[in-house]
Structure 1
Amino acid sequence: MEFISQFIRLASRRGNGFGPILQRNRSSIVQKDSTMDTTIHSAGIAEIHMVPMSVIQRPIPSVLDEKKVQSLMETIKGESSEDEVPPIDLLWITGDEGGDYYFSFGGCHRFEAYKRLQRPEIKAKLVKSTLGDLYHYMGSSAPKYLA
C-alpha cells in the first residue's frame, strides 16, 4: 500500500517553472491534447519540452529489443511520423544549490533511437521530483546530495 501512495504522490506533483537548461528553449514547448499516450507519472502534465540529450542521466542500464529500436528510428526519421513517438518522462530534480538534474528510467527504446540518430534533443515531459523520489527508484545507489 505504501508503494501505491508513493506513486500517487509522485504522479500528482507538478513543476511550476523551467530549469535553466530549458529557459533557453521556452519556444520549443508544445501543447498536446490528453489523448496522447501517458504514464502514471505524467498523466496530468500537458507540456512537452525538447530536452538536450546531454543533460539526461540514465542510471539503470537498458535492456533493449533491437527490432523495436530500429522501428522507432525509422519512425523518428520521417518528418510526419516523428510526431507519433510519445515523449519520455523525466524526473526533474532541483539540487540544493539550484542545479537542475534530469533522470530517465523509462523510454529506453525511444532514448536509444534518438541517441543512435544523433539527435541533440528528445521530447520529454518533466515530472517535478525530489531526491527522496529518486531514492525510490535507485535505493542506496541514489546520490545523497545534488548541488
Structure 2
Amino acid sequence: MSIQTGGLNRISGIPLSQIRRPIAPVLDHQKIDAMVSTMKGTPEASKTCTKEEAAVMNSQLPPIDVLCVRDQGKTYYFGFGGCHRFQAYERIRDQTGEDVEVRCKIIPATRSQLKLYVGSSIDDMFN
C-alpha cells in the first residue's frame, strides 16, 4: 500500500497492454518467480514475502498504483512502481499468450502532473 492510495479501497482491473511504463525497471528475478508461483496458486517465499504471507494472497498480487491521465478524449494509464508485479503479469501473459488484467488502484492525474515524473519526454507519452 502506498501513501497515495492508502485510503482508496476500489481495485480495478486494467489490461496489461494498456499500461505504459516509461521508466526501465531494476529487477530481482527470484522475486518475480515467487510472484508468478503465487499467481498460479503455488506460493513461494521471496526476500520480501514469506511463503505463509504469499499463501494468504489467494493467488492475487497486491494492486499496483497507476496514474490515469485523460488527454484529447483518450485515457492513458502509467505505472511507475510495482516493477516486479508488472514483470510477473508479463510472464503470465507470455506463458498464456493472452493479455492479463492487472489489479490496480487508479490515481487520477493531469498531463502537467505526469510531467513531474517524465519531464520533457511528456509529448512522447501521448503519440
Q: 1:58 to 1:43 in 2, by over 3 A?
A: same
1:73 aligns to 2:36 (yes or no): yes
The equivalent of 2:59 in structure 1 is 82
Q: CA RMSD in A?
A: 2.0
Which has the bigger relative contact order, CA under 8 A and spacing at least 6?
A: 2
The equivalent of 2:81 in structure 1 is 106
Displacement, 1:140?
1.4
- Return the alpha-carbon distance in structure 2 between the equivalents of residues 45 and 93 of structure 1: 18
- Return the alpha-carbon distance in structure 1 between the equivalents of residues 120 and 63 of structure 2: 28
Displacement, 1:44?
2.1
**Paired positions, count:** 108
The equivalent of 1:14 in structure 2 is none
Is this contact kept in 2: 1:94–1:100, CA < 8 A? yes
The equivalent of 1:58 in structure 2 is 21
1:51-99 CA deviation, whole Å, 9 max, x = no partner?
111100001111100111001111111186323x21001000001x210
Q: Which runs of 5+ in 1 are unaligned?
A: 1-37
Counterpart residue type for residue 87 of structure 1: P
1:126 to 79, 98, 106: 106
- Return the alpha-carbon distance in structure 2 between the equivalents of residues 58 and 101 of structure 1: 11
- Aligned to 1:75, the other structure's residue is in SS state helix
Q: Which runs of 5+ in 2 are unaligned?
A: 43-56, 94-98
Q: Percent identity?
A: 40
Q: Tell me which stretches of 4 or more aligned residues in structure 1 moved more than 6 Å.
A: none
Displacement, 1:43?
1.6
Is this contact kept in 1: 2:32–2:87, CA < 8 A? yes
Is this contact kept in 2: 1:99–1:146, CA < 8 A? no
